[in-house]
């Protein structure tokens, strides 16, 4: 909402600087987003948060002046020469302003025209350039006439975009020579109102807050006229009071349509509204002033439509498909939730949102019927959205306007019309008020304030703070306040909610900055921590230790994009996606099914800037679910992607061989080892993302924790890698929740042996089909606690072992905790191990 300072000053005496006022309003809960300066001194940089624009008028060089005579230009038809008095001397000033042409050659004017005059050296906006371009007035010869000063348009002064003619000052203009800033100087605050501040969506509402915060008194417009008796010029039927709690009509006859006074038009423009005529302007002015949107009907149109009967206003919801042409000349199709203001002949306007074309005030209007009403704010919000009709009226009604304002608005507007358009108001109003809002009484004590805010206030202080905001307070004998909200606000609840609402008002008046800062001293809850998170962070650390970089991706994708992670010939991922109903773009329209797909996408993008990729992500993937009240499953996954050289190239020889399956397996082994996972094993796997011979699954018991391997060449080819990026892509996809569930909370640590171990190499020949892991497992199982370590150090295939065979060589550490092992002890274990390997795997000791 745009609030001109001069208008606020009608209701409260503001003696703050502009930055001071902006800060006060902001601290009270209404953010001042922008300030437009009109002629007044510009705030110092850094003194306000708001965006500041506008032009400061030099008090010496931009002044009020009077044009005494308008003379033709000797060489140019489209220019005139003005004889002008600036309070000190006369000047001849050149202008092309068309609104002076009617005075051309009329000799000395009986009534001088009061204008804004800029002298040589004044800084103003260039009227002939688009936007606001500053210029300084310099001496120049235009068509043979010397020019050094000018009469200004609104655009040149930064008041508006108006540049058709020069600004002609109103009847109330001060004498020539007065600094223009003293007459027209102003500042327009653009205030952002949060939903609970609907009461401030008017000059009076904002002024009331300023008065309360500064302790000044508030002057309210007199709206006590036209009270009785009840008018008989119309009747009102409200079909649904929930949607329309009140409807008020006033009538004014024999008005004369004409432009509003200059100052009214100026105020409306500063507040962001376009002046139309004195009637429409009066409704807008009253709305901006009080916050109650009003609507003016051409009464004679309604009388005609009533076909001789009394005008009857009916409010009801639209019939399905009902149509109405609104005053923007658009025929609108309405739905059943739209509330209409109708008469017996049909719809007149969309309630609270926009008037209809047929009954609007026109140049021919003589009698005006004025509507002030209260509407259900949720319904108005819905209608304004459905019809895409944000308006000043719907802005206010969709936030909630107290029904008491309907009557006040009509009365105030009748006064304004009478002042600006003449006419006679019919005696009394027609008022149908079926549903006054609840006005709860809230009991508030000093200890309530203490309980919420932590400050000690006397009940008397509390009372006076609330009274500054026009709350009605009654102090009972037991130091309890009985508080009711004033009839311009709907945001105060009842019971304990009402108490909290009042406490906020007290905090605002007291000043948030005056409330002390204390450290929590309340009961501390049991400190149980978050073990799941701790484990997850441990996984991150273990992967980062190994040189992997963590990523965090957007959760959205497309099925097409994600399908690239699978073989083109594989059965498609046919689980339904969670689809965003209102995505920013199709590409952001689906919640991902695969964290691995996100990591692959990231790898693909980074392959353009890096040849080595080592990435992981921990996060959810989303699957539609019938469980948990229709909410989807959010499956936490860990995905890893590796590709590129094993080490980073430098200036010395390095291992630049591409990472392969076993690099990834090494990472996973180190991870599982770091988590101390018990009994996890790896078996050959099959998966539509992976190379059939280079794919494995990780199992704990029968539960699969994850799958990993080298991407299938056909899958790899579905990504857009740069030509230079040729290395195999390794990937792992793990069930994070399963992984976390296996991590033991408590672990054990083996004693460090003090006795010397016996180290021995053992090579066995087995069939190619025997998985190496089986051999190692059997060695360890058979050796029991004596085999402290068994690590594979060579795999050999070739003539020496025969076709279809492989030799696996292990370095075995025999270690007893309680004795030094003899050669004989070791020989016994070795024999047992070999026997077991032979029996179970057909292994032979390699000669």
Partner 1 sequence: MLEQLKEIERTALAALEAVQDEAALETWRVAYLGRSSPLMQVFSKLGALAKEERPVVGQAANEVKKALEAAFGSRSEMLRQAALARALSEERLDVTLPGRPIARGRLHPDTQILRELYRVFAEMGFQVYRSREVESDEYNFQLLNFPVGHPARDMQDTYFIEAEGRGDNPIVLRTHTSPGQIRAMREMAALNPQNPPPVRIILPGMVYRYEQVDARHETQFDQLEGLAVGPGITFSDLKGTLTDMARRLFGPQARTRFRASFFPFTEPSAEFDIECFQCGGKGCDVCGSGWLEIGGSGMVHPVVLQNGGYDPARYTGFAFGFGVQRIAMLKYGIPDIRYFWENDLRFLEQF
Question: Which of 105/583 has CB closer to partner 1?
Answer: 583
Q: Phi, psi (5° rounding) for residue 653?
A: -55, 140
Question: Which of 54/619 has CB closer to partner 1?
Answer: 619
Helix (H) or strand (E) holding 452: helix 446-453
Tell me if 337 sits within 8 A of 383, measured CB to CB. Answer: yes
Q: Closest Cα partner for 249 from 300, 297, 285, 317?
A: 297
CA distances from 202 to 266, 418, 439 (A): 17, 22, 22
| Least distance (Å) between residue 388 CB and partner 1 | 14
| Least distance (Å) between residue 411 CB and partner 1 | 27
Tell me if 207 sits within 8 A of 24, measured CB to CB. Answer: no
Tell me if 714 sits within 8 A of 646, measured CB to CB. Answer: no
| Least distance (Å) between residue 643 CB and partner 1 | 12
| Least distance (Å) between residue 292 CB and partner 1 | 17
| Least distance (Å) between residue 71 CB and partner 1 | 51
| Least distance (Å) between residue 438 CB and partner 1 | 16
| Least distance (Å) between residue 451 CB and partner 1 | 6
Question: Which of 369/503 has CB closer to partner 1?
Answer: 503
DSSP class per residue in 108-123: S-SSPEEEEEE-TT-E
Tell me if 792 sits within 8 A of 772, measured CB to CB. Answer: yes
Helix (H) or strand (E) holding 798: none
Question: Which of 82/503 has CB closer to partner 1?
Answer: 503
The SS3 call for residue 370 is strand
Question: Which of 271/503 has CB closer to partner 1?
Answer: 503
Question: Which of 583/684 has CB closer to partner 1?
Answer: 583
Question: Which of 279/664 has CB closer to partner 1?
Answer: 664
What number of other Cβ atoms are within 10 A of residue 114's Cβ? 22
Question: Which of 228/530 has CB closer to partner 1?
Answer: 530
| Least distance (Å) between residue 535 CB and partner 1 | 12
Question: Which of 460/495 has CB closer to partner 1?
Answer: 495
Long-range CB pairs of 487-490, under 8 A, 24+ apart, other chains included:
487/402, 487/404, 487/439, 488/199, 488/205, 488/291, 488/402, 488/404, 488/405, 489/198, 489/199, 489/402, 490/198, 490/199, 490/400, 490/401, 490/402, 490/437
DSSP 168: B
Q: Phi, psi (5° rounding) for residue 466?
A: -70, -35
DSSP class per residue in 127-146: TTSSS--EEE---EEETTEE
DSSP class per residue in 663-679: HHHHHHHHHHHHTT-SS
Question: Which of 6/391 has CB closer to partner 1?
Answer: 391
Q: Phi, psi (5° rounding) for residue 465?
A: -65, -45
Question: Which of 27/345 has CB closer to partner 1?
Answer: 27
Tell me if 621 sits within 8 A of 572, measured CB to CB. Answer: no
- The CA angle 548-554-557, to the nearest 5 degrees, is 115
| Least distance (Å) between residue 204 CB and partner 1 | 20
CA distances from 646 to 92, 656, 710, 730, 736 (A): 86, 6, 15, 12, 26
Helix (H) or strand (E) holding 301: helix 299-305
Question: Which of 255/613 has CB closer to partner 1?
Answer: 613
In whole angstroms, give the CA distance from residue 136 to residue 120: 8
Q: Closest Cα partner for 615 from 462, 772, 733?
A: 733
Contacts of residue 9, defined as CB under 8 A and 6 or more positions apart, other chains included, come to none
Q: Closest Cα partner for 550 from 491, 614, 469, 593?
A: 614
| Least distance (Å) between residue 509 CB and partner 1 | 10
Tell me if 616 sits within 8 A of 553, measured CB to CB. Answer: no
Question: Which of 225/608 has CB closer to partner 1?
Answer: 608
| Least distance (Å) between residue 729 CB and partner 1 | 16
Which stretches does DSSP call E strand in 368-506?
368-374, 424-425, 430-432, 441-444, 472-475, 481-484
Question: Which of 494/714 has CB closer to partner 1?
Answer: 494
Question: Which of 23/91 has CB closer to partner 1?
Answer: 23
Helix (H) or strand (E) holding 808: strand 805-814
| Least distance (Å) between residue 506 CB and partner 1 | 9
| Least distance (Å) between residue 625 CB and partner 1 | 10
Question: Which of 207/368 has CB closer to partner 1?
Answer: 207
| Least distance (Å) between residue 382 CB and partner 1 | 6
The SS3 call for residue 243 is coil
| Least distance (Å) between residue 708 CB and partner 1 | 18
| Least distance (Å) between residue 84 CB and partner 1 | 42
Half-sphere CA count of 706, side-chain side, radius 13 A: 26
Q: Which residue's entry shows tokens 């409260």? A: 12
Tell me if 84 sits within 8 A of 65, measured CB to CB. Answer: yes
Question: Which of 402/499 has CB closer to partner 1?
Answer: 499
Question: Which of 581/752 has CB closer to partner 1?
Answer: 581
Contacts of residue 502, defined as CB under 8 A and 6 or more positions apart, other chains included, come to 442, 444, 466, 471, 483, 492
Helix residue ranges, H only, 687-822: 713-716, 736-742, 772-783
What number of other Cβ atoms are within 10 A of residue 645's Cβ? 15
What number of other Cβ atoms are within 10 A of residue 2's Cβ? 16
Q: Phi, psi (5° rounding) for residue 372?
A: -130, 130
| Least distance (Å) between residue 477 CB and partner 1 | 23
Q: Closest Cα partner for 700 from 732, 670, 665, 740?
A: 740
| Least distance (Å) between residue 135 CB and partner 1 | 27
DSSP 34: E
């Amino acid at each position: 909402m745009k609030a001109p300072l001069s208008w606020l000053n009608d209701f409260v005496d503001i003696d703050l600087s502009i930055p001071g006022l902006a800060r006060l309003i902001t601290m009270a809960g209404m953010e001042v987003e922008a300030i437009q300066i009109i002629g007044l001194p510009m705030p110092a940089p850094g003194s306000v948060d708001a965006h500041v624009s506008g032009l400061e008028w030099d008090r010496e060089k931009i002044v009020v002046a009077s044009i005494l005579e308008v003379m033709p230009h000797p060489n140019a038809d489209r220019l005139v020469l003005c004889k002008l008095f600036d309070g000190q001397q006369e000047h001849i000033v050149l202008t092309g302003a068309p609104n002076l042409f009617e005075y051309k050659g009329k000799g000395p004017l009986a009534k001088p025209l009061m204008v804004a005059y800029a002298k040589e050296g004044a800084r103003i906006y260039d009227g002939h350039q688009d936007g606001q371009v500053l210029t300084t007035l310099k001496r120049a010869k235009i068509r043979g006439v010397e020019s050094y000063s000018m009469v200004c348009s609104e655009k040149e002064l930064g008041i508006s975009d108006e540049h058709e003619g020069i600004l002609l000052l109103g009847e109330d203009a001060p004498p020539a020579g007065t600094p223009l800033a003293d007459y027209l100087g102003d500042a327009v605050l653009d205030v952002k109102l949060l939903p609970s501040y609907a009461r401030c969506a008017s000059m009076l509402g904002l002024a009331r807050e300023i008065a309360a915060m500064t302790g000044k008194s508030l002057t309210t417009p007199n709206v006590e006229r036209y009270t009785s008796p009840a008018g008989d010029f119309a009747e009102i039927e409200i079909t649904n009071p929930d949607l329309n709690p009140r409807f008020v009509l006033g009538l004014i006859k024999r008005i004369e349509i004409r432009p509003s006074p200059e100052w009214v038009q100026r105020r409306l423009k500063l507040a962001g509204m376009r002046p139309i005529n004195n009637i429409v302007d009066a409704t807008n002015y009253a709305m901006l002033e009080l916050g109650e949107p009003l609507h003016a009907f051409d009464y004679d149109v309604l009388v005609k439509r009533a076909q001789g009967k009394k005008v009857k206003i009916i409010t009801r919801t639209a019939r399905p498909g009902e149509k109405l042409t609104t005053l923007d000349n658009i025929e609108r199709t309405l739905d059943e939730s739209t509330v209409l203001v109708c008469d017996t002949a049909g719809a007149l306007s969309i309630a609270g949102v926009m008037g209809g074309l047929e009954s609007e005030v026109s140049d021919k209007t003589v009698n005006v019927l004025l509507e002030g009403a209260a509407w259900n704010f949720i319904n108005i919000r819905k209608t304004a959205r459905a019809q895409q009709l944000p308006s000043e009226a719907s802005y206010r009604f969709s936030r909630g306007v107290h029904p008491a304002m309907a009557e006040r608005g009509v009365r105030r507007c009748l006064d304004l019309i009478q002042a600006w358009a003449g006419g006679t108001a019919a005696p009394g109003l027609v008022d149908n008020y079926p549903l006054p809002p609840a006005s709860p009484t809230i009991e508030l004590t000093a200890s309530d304030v203490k309980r919420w805010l932590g400050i000690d206030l006397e009940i008397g202080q509390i009372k006076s703070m609330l009274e500054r905001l026009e709350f009605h307070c009654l102090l009972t004998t037991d130091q309890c306040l009985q508080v009711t909200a004033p009839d311009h606000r709907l945001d105060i609840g009842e019971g304990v909610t009402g108490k909290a609402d009042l406490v906020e008002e007290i905090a605002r008046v007291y000043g948030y900055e005056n409330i002390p800062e204390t450290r929590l001293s309340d009961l501390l809850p049991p400190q149980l921590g978050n073990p799941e998170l701790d484990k997850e962070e441990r996984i991150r650390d273990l992967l980062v230790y190994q040189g992997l970089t963590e990523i965090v991706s957007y959760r959205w994708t497309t099925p097409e994009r994600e399908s690239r992670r699978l073989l083109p010939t594989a059965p498609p991922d046919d689980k339904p996606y969670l689809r965003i109903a209102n995505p920013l773009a199709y590409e952001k329209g689906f919640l991902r099914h695969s964290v691995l797909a996100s990591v692959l996408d990231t790898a693909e993008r980074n392959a353009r800037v890096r040849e080595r990729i080592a990435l992981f992500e921990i996060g959810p993937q989303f699957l539609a679910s019938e469980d948990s009240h229709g909410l989807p499953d959010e499956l936490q996954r860990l995905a890893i992607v590796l590709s590129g050289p094993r080490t980073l190239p430098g200036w010395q020889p390095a291992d630049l061989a591409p990472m392969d399956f076993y690099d990834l397996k090494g990472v996973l082994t180190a991870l599982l080892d770091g988590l101390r996972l018990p009994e996890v094993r790896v078996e050959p796997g099959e998966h539509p993302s992976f190379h059939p011979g280079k794919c494995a699954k990780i199992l704990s018991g029968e539960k699969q924790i994850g799958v990993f391997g080298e991407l299938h060449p056909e899958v790899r080819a579905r990504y857009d890698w740069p030509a230079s990026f040729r290395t195999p892509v390794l990937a792992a996809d793990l069930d994070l929740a399963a992984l976390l569930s296996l991590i033991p909370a408590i672990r054990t640590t083996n004693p460090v042996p003090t006795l010397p171990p016996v180290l021995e190499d053992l090579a066995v020949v087995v069939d190619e089909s025997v998985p190496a892991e089986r051999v190692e497992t059997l060695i360890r199982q058979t050796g029991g606690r004596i085999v402290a370590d068994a690590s594979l150090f060579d795999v050999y295939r070739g003539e020496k072992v025969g076709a279809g065979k492989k030799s696996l060589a292990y370095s075995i550490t025999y270690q007893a905790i309680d004795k030094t092992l003899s050669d004989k002890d070791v020989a016994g274990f070795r024999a047992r191990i070999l026997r077991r390997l032979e029996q179970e795997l057909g292994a032979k000791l390699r000669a």
